[in-house]
Amino acid sequence: MKTERIYKPGTRPADPQPRTDEEPHSGQSRNGTGHASGEPEAKPFPLHCLPESVGGMARAIADTERTPASLAGVCTLGFLSAAIGKGLDVQSGPDRRTRGNVYLLASAESGSGKSESFRHAAKPFNEFEGDLLEAWRASTLPGLAAEKDVLEAEIGKLKKEASNAEGAGERGEIKARLEAKKAALADVEAQLHAPAFTVEDVTTEKLAALLAANGETLASVSPDAGAIVNNLLGRYSKLDRTDESVYLKAYSGDFLRVDRQKNPEPVLLKSPCLAALWLTQPDKLETLLGEKELTDGGLIPRLLVCHTNADAREIVEGATGIPAEVSAAYRRTIRDLLKAYRLADEPRTIQPSPDALALLNRHFNAIVARRREELRDVTSYAARWNEQA
C-alpha cells in the first residue's frame, strides 16, 4: 500500500491516520537514536502494516543482519509491490484506478547490510524469475527458433519465385503469400524475448522495449542504485538533461510512445507498470533529491524516500540465521502473489466500501484545501499524498 511520503512537521492531513503502536527497533544503528543531531527522532518502520509472513521476514532479516527494521521493511515492501505488478488495482474514483506499484528509494551506508538485506528479500522473487526463464529456454525457445528458421526459408523461396514470376497475377499471388509469411515471422520474433521480471542499469529506450516485451510490467530493483541515479540524471541523454520520462509514465500507467534512433518502429505502451526498489548511499540520494528538474518534472514527488540510518555493525558471535519456517512462509507469499497477480492476463479490481471511499475523499479534499495555503511551497509533493495513501 502506498503511504504518505513527506509533510511539514505538525501539519499532517487528517485521515487516513497511521496506527500509533510502534514496531520495536530491530538491529538499531549504533547511535541508538536513528536520526541525525537536531532532527526529530524517526519513528520505527511500521512492519505491523505488512502481512504477517512478510513482516516476520523483515524482522528476521533485521535481527540476522543486525540492521534497522527500516532497511528490511523497505526491501520486503518493494518485492511485495513487484510481485503484484499491475495485476491488482483499486477503483479509486468513477473513472480512475490506482495500482499497487510504489517507487521506493532508501539510503544506507556502505557496509551497513543493505546488500545482504536486499538479497534475503529478493531471493524468492529471483528464484521464481529464474525458474520461469529456465522453463522458457527448455520448452518455448526451441519451438520459436525452429519456426523462425522455417519462415525465413519459406520467405527466401518465395522471393526466388517472385523474381521468376510471369505476369501481374502470379506476382500478386506471391506477394500476398510473402506478406503473410513476413507477418508470421514478425509475430515469432516478437516472442523471441526471454521473460524478465526485473531490470537495473538500462537506458530509457531499452526500458521501454523491455516493458513492451514483458506484458508492460517490470520492477526496477537494485541494492546499489548508483547507476540508476546516474541514468536519471542524464548519463545517456544527448540533450544534457534528466532522463525520467518512462519512469513517470510507468508509475501512473499513462500511454507512452518511445521512438528509437536505431529502429524505425516506435515502442507503444498502452498502460505500463513499473515498481521500483532502489537502495543507495546517502550522498547519492541527496544528489537525486537536489536535482530541481526531477522535482519539477514530477519524479521526486512520486518517490517514497527513507533514510534507513543503517550503520556499520559489528559481528555478533553465535548469531542465528533466518528461521526456516519464516523464510518458507515469506517465499510462499511472494510466489502466490506472482502467480495470482503478476502473471494474470487481466487485473483484478478492488471495489472500496462506501466508508473507505469516503475516508479517501476526505483525505484528498483536506490536502487540496491546504495546498492553497501552507503547503503551497510543496504542492507537487502534496498532490501525490492521496494517491500514495
pLDDT digits (tens, 9 = 90+) for 120-171: 999 999 999 999 999 999 999 999 999 999 999 999 999 998 888 888 888 8
pLDDT at 96: 87
Q: Positive or negative CA dihedral for 90, 341, 119, 248? A: negative
DSSP secondary structure string, 224-250? Answer: STHHHHHHHTTTT-TTSS---HHHHHH
Read off the pTM.
0.84
pLDDT at 28: 44
For residue 133, the SS3 value is helix
Return all residues near 125 (Cβ < 8 A) that are at least 6 apart.
79, 82, 83, 197, 198, 334, 338
Closest residue by Cα to residue 193 from 137, 155, 147: 137
Spans in the chain with pLDDT lower than 70: 1-40, 236-240, 260-263
Residues 151 and 155: their CA atoms lie apart, in Å, by 6
pLDDT at 190: 86
Is residue 354 classed exposed, middle or buried when 0-12, 13-18 and 19+ CB atoms within 10 A define those classes?
Answer: exposed
pLDDT at 313: 80
pLDDT at 289: 87
pLDDT at 85: 95
